[in-house]
Amino acid sequence: MIRILKVLAVLAVIGGLGVVGYAYLGDMTPATGEVRVPVTLNGD
């Protein structure tokens, strides 16, 4: 039982390091650009 807990703890640490590494090294900048949409207004 202890062996399974150790394996799970190691996997959790590796997963946490992977998430942190992706957050720092991953390209998460959004694509920006101008958007123009024609709008028709009903002016009663």
Asked if the structure places residue 33 within a domain, the reply is no
Asked if the structure places residue 21 within a domain, the reply is yes
Asked if the structure places residue 4 within a domain, the reply is yes
pLDDT per position as a tens digit, 14-32: 999 999 998 888 777 788 9
Instruction: Give me the amino acid identity at 25.
Output: L
Mean pLDDT across 5-17: 97
Residue numbers of the domain that contains 9 = 1-25
Instruction: Give me the amino acid identity at 20.
Output: V
Asked if the structure places residue 39 within a domain, the reply is no
Asked if the structure places residue 35 within a domain, the reply is no
- How many domains does the chain contain in total? 1
Asked if the structure places residue 18 within a domain, the reply is yes
**Residue the block writes with tokens 């202890």:** 2
Supply the pTM of this predicted model: 0.55
Mean pLDDT across 3-11: 97
**Residue the block writes with tokens 């998460």:** 28
* Token pair listed for 8: 């799970």
Instruction: Give me the amino acid identity at 2.
Output: I
